């Protein structure tokens, strides 16, 4: 399993709605930040993959809103990848505020797609290799 | 079961991302439009409920992205309520483009909450009464 | 001068912020709706121009916030083009609510740009022709 | 004059549009980040002012788009306050990318407003005091 914490995500006025909460559609942006920064921490740059001709559209999204995030909150997103990527990869997310209160949990499934042909394709070897150590049998024993 | 089609929702440049698709977080806005207009068609105005002291925060959200919505597409959202509201109400959504192609399906659960106390509360009788005919035993026989 | 009123733009929860007002950055979306629908009313479809290889990025934006737009307001946007387009075109906007109260005024300058080369280019003849009658000397006398 | 640089603002997929550029309405969010973080660096927290009953709605906005910001760009926003705040305060902004290329310039005027009464009011003394040293005669000589 791969786990990474992305810290320091500040809730902006732009993110709130008239309830004084973060609008429920804006968590998708936080999830995007979470997964892109988690992969960047591994040395994998999403932009470079897209420049090389493969993009990752989102296939499904699930969010559960436990407590509202509020203006100026400083969020931490815990990102998990539980299984090695195939033609798809699933990310799980937990968002907490500055007091470690759990605000939101969710998940997204993304697929790998050839930009030119529009066809699905396997996870690029570059990314698979970077994730492999987190899913090795040995590693599972340790967990 | 209550079903309503909201038509004529135009995809704007603001909604797209650099894939040329509607950004996955923006479907939450389409769902909001769908449920609010479906209730308005019943004669129920969300704003008035909020002015009377009850709001409906979203408890969970699920979206599945079958095909991308694209710039200038003219969307129709089919909104369904399958069960009478209690302290919560579940909406289901299907989004199609101008060629009736199914682009997206999803659901949201919303709860009823007293704005002042922050406590959950049952669905206001006004709304329950407007929805009741769609869930009558007679109606179920017909289905 | 070309003038067109775009009506029936509903303020959504997604557009508001914790002041209970429309977030100031979201007026750019209303302006986009205004200018695209004004041109569509002339028989000009922005999407087709982009498909033909010319896009219209925004060069500058000005907004003045007279009164806040609020949730569920039903907005009308008056769009004006005061001068014939050249390599650029300037749109002016006035936004009023359902009580005809003036909420917002603004303007945007957009340029015509060849998508492949990135170079600026003159307004396509198709669009110029559709706008020409509104800027004729005869028309000015009538005004 | 007060000047502050806010660094490390990453352009997200959510911010882009189908031109592959940051959507023109999203610069308002960058400006918000710029001014709030510039004041935080002074020891002034916008949230606390709002909790104390004064908010700062935006009165006008100007943006000029020199070069497009693109996905994954790492932006720096230079924020300037040229004159001491009165019942209003004007912020100027310059946005550069990771190569120091100037992408965008703009300005916003904000007013101070009593949340309960809705009336405009002078800049709170707390904020005025923190900004005063930057506008002293002595300081001007130094500049």
Q: Among candidates B16, B37, B34, B12, which has minimal Cα distance to B25?
A: B16
D143 pLDDT exceeds 50? no
CB contact under 8 A, C14 and A18: no
Q: What is residue B136's predicted lDDT score, i.e. its pLDDT?
A: 80
Q: What is residue A43's predicted lDDT score, i.e. its pLDDT?
A: 97
pLDDT tier at B30, thresholds 50, 70, 90 = very high
Query: Distance (Å, rounded) from C-alpha D17 to C-alpha C30?
Result: 16
Considering only CB atoms, D65 lies closest to which of C25, C32, C57, namely: C57
SS3 A61: strand
DSSP C19: T
Give the D-side interface with B, CB within 8 Å: 13-14, 16-20, 23, 25, 71
C118: left (phi over 0), alpha (psi -120 to 50) or beta: left
Query: Distance (Å, rounded) from C-alpha D135 to C-alpha D71?
Result: 38
Q: What is residue A143's predicted lDDT score, i.e. its pLDDT?
A: 44
The stretch B50-66 carries a mean pLDDT of 97
Q: What are phi and psi of A101, to 5 degrees?
A: -75, 130
Q: What is residue D139's predicted lDDT score, i.e. its pLDDT?
A: 56
How many contacts, defined by CB atoms under 8 Å, are there between B and C?
30
Q: What is residue C139's predicted lDDT score, i.e. its pLDDT?
A: 56
Contact C67, C101 (CB under 8 A): yes
Chain A neighbors of D72, CB-CB under 8 A: 45-47
Q: What is residue C143's predicted lDDT score, i.e. its pLDDT?
A: 44
Q: Among candidates C95, C88, C105, C49, which has minimal Cα distance to C73?
A: C95
A140 pLDDT exceeds 60? no
Rounded to the nearest integer, the mean pLDDT of chain C is: 95
D140 pLDDT exceeds 70? no
Considering only CB atoms, C16 lies closest to which of A18, A25, A71, namely: A18
Label the pairing between strands A74-81 and A58-65.
unpaired
Contact C25, D63 (CB under 8 A): no
Contact A105, A93 (CB under 8 A): yes
Q: What whole-number percentage of chain A has pLDDT above 70? A: 95
Chain C neighbors of A16, CB-CB under 8 A: 17-18
CB contact under 8 A, C18 and A13: yes
Chain D neighbors of C65, CB-CB under 8 A: 57-61
Residue C134, exposed/middle/buried by CB under 10 A (0-12, 13-18, 19+)?
A: middle
Q: What is residue C70's predicted lDDT score, i.e. its pLDDT?
A: 97
The stretch B35-39 carries a mean pLDDT of 98
- C68: which strand partners? none
D68 pLDDT exceeds 60? yes
Query: Which pTM value belongs to this model?
Result: 0.95
Taking only the tens place, the pLDDT of each residue in A71-110 is 999 999 999 999 999 999 999 999 999 999 999 999 999 9
Q: What is residue D101's predicted lDDT score, i.e. its pLDDT?
A: 98
pLDDT tier at D137, thresholds 50, 70, 90 = low
The stretch B10-36 carries a mean pLDDT of 97
CB contact under 8 A, A72 and D14: no
Q: Best mutation site among C60, C91, C113 for testing chain D: the one with the most D CBs within 10 Å? A: C60
Contact D17, D69 (CB under 8 A): no
Considering only CB atoms, C24 lies closest to which of D24, D55, D61, namely: D61
B125 pLDDT exceeds 50? yes
Q: What token pair was written down for D27?
A: 């610069």
Contacts of C131 (CB under 8 A, 6+ apart): C2, C42, C81, C84, C85
CB contact under 8 A, D18 and B20: yes
DSSP string, chain B: -EEEEEEEEEPPGGGB-TTSBB-GGGHHHHHHHHHHHHHHHTT--HHHHHHTTEE--EEEEEEEESS--BTT-EEEEEEEE-S--SSEEEEEEEEE-TT--EEEEEEEEEE-EETTT--B-PPPHHHHHHHGGGG-HHHHHH-
Q: What are phi and psi of C71, to 5 degrees?
A: -50, 135
Query: Distance (Å, rounded) from C-alpha A37 to C-alpha A46?
Result: 9
Q: What token pair was written down for A86?
A: 């195939």
A52 pLDDT exceeds 50? yes
D138 pLDDT exceeds 80? no
Q: Among candidates D61, B69, B53, which has minimal Cα distance to C104?
A: D61
Query: Distance (Å, rounded) from C-alpha C57 to C-alpha C49?
Result: 13
For CA atoms D69, D71, D76, D81, give the dihedral sign.
positive
Exposure class string for C1-27: b at 16+ Cβ within 10 A, else e: ebebebeebebbbbbbbbbebbbbbbb
Taking only the tens place, the pLDDT of each residue in D6-53 is 999 999 999 999 999 999 999 999 999 999 999 999 999 999 999 999
Residue of chain C with shortest Cα separation from B56: C13
* Strands, E assignment, C11-73: 54-55, 58-65
Q: What is the CA radius of gyration of chain B?
A: 16
Q: Among candidates D138, A35, A25, which has minimal Cα distance to C16?
A: A25
D2 pLDDT exceeds 90? yes
C56 pLDDT exceeds 80? yes
Contacts of A57 (CB under 8 A, 6+ apart): A110, A111, A113, B19, B21, B24, B65, B68
Query: Distance (Å, rounded) from C-alpha C13 to C-alpha B50?
Result: 12
Q: Give the H/E segment covering residue D51.
A: helix D46-51
Q: Best mutation site among D61, D70, D91, D105 for testing chain C: the one with the most C CBs within 10 Å? A: D61
Chain A neighbors of D47, CB-CB under 8 A: 71-72
How many contacts, defined by CB atoms under 8 Å, are there between C and D?
58
C135 pLDDT exceeds 80? yes
Q: How far is B125 from chain C (nearest CA, A)?
A: 22
Label the pairing between strands A54-55 and A102-111.
unpaired
Rounded to the nearest integer, the mean pLDDT of chain D is: 95
Chain D neighbors of B13, CB-CB under 8 A: 17-18, 23
CB contact under 8 A, C25 and A14: yes
SS3 C83: coil
Q: What token pair was written down for D112?
A: 């101070």
pLDDT tier at A136, thresholds 50, 70, 90 = confident
pLDDT tier at B143, thresholds 50, 70, 90 = very low
Q: Among candidates D107, B115, C111, D127, which has minimal Cα distance to A18?
A: B115
Cβ–Cβ contacts within 10 Å for residue A100, how many?
Answer: 7
């Amino acid at each position: 399993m791969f786990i990474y914490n992305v810290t320091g995500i500040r809730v902006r006025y732009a993110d709130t709605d008239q309830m004084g909460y973060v609008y429920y559609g804006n968590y998708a942006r936080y999830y995007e930040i979470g997964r892109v920064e988690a992969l960047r921490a591994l040395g994998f740059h999403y932009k470079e993959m897209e420049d090389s001709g493969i993009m990752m559209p989102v296939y499904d999204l699930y969010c559960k809103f436990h407590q509202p995030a509020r203006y100026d909150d400083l969020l931490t997103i815990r990102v998990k990848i539980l299984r090695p990527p195939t033609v798809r990869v699933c990310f799980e997310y937990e968002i907490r505020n500055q007091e470690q209160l759990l605000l939101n949990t969710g998940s997204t499934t993304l697929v790998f797609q050839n930009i030119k042909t529009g066809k699905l394709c396997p996870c690029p070897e570059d990314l698979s290799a970077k994730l492999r150590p987190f899913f090795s049998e040995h590693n599972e024993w340790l967990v």
